[in-house]
Amino acid sequence: MAELFSDSWMSEFATHWNAEPELSDALSQIGFNSVIGYGLDGDDAPKGVLTVENGKAVSGEAFSGQTLNWDIRASEDQWRKWMAKPPGMMGLGMAFTSRKMKFVVGDYSSMIKDPRMAGPFIKSFSVMGRV
């Protein structure tokens, strides 16, 4: 298995993202465009980046200085737990308030209050588990 959020891991994540209608199609319906960084809590920068245009992942790669709309961090153990057993809305709320999940860039509160974005965000964890 590729290292979490490495270039090859992110590329495979992008493929799985696009194959999941509850994620890519749902975000396409709202014209979602974003550059999302994923990384480990305490690191200076995210490890991987997913670029999404109109809901579809157009690239998944290692971070190389891209300007991010979102930068989501957690410990490697926590990421792996979420991939094995994706959190629900309550679990995400607890993770955010307990600081197990941190948004270095991006507004968690506004995203989670919009069901058009919250549902796909939750779905992204099960998609990560397919990588």
Confidence at residue 108, expressed as pLDDT on a 0 to 100 scale: 76
Q: What are phi and psi of 16, to 5 degrees?
A: -65, -35
Confidence at residue 115, expressed as pLDDT on a 0 to 100 scale: 80
Contact 95, 107 (CB under 8 A): no
Q: Three-class SS of residue 38?
A: strand
Confidence at residue 2, expressed as pLDDT on a 0 to 100 scale: 66
How confident is the prediction along the chain (131 residues), in pLDDT tens digits per residue?
A: 569 999 999 999 999 999 999 999 999 999 999 999 999 999 999 999 999 999 999 999 999 999 999 999 999 999 999 999 998 888 888 888 888 999 899 887 777 778 888 889 889 999 999 99
Cβ of 68: how many Cβ atoms within 10 Å? 20
Confidence at residue 29, expressed as pLDDT on a 0 to 100 scale: 95
Say how far apart CA 60 and CA 62 lie, in whole Å: 7
Highest CATH level, class, for 7-128: alpha beta
Domains of the chain, by residue range, sit at 7-128
Confidence at residue 112, expressed as pLDDT on a 0 to 100 scale: 74
Confidence at residue 57, expressed as pLDDT on a 0 to 100 scale: 98
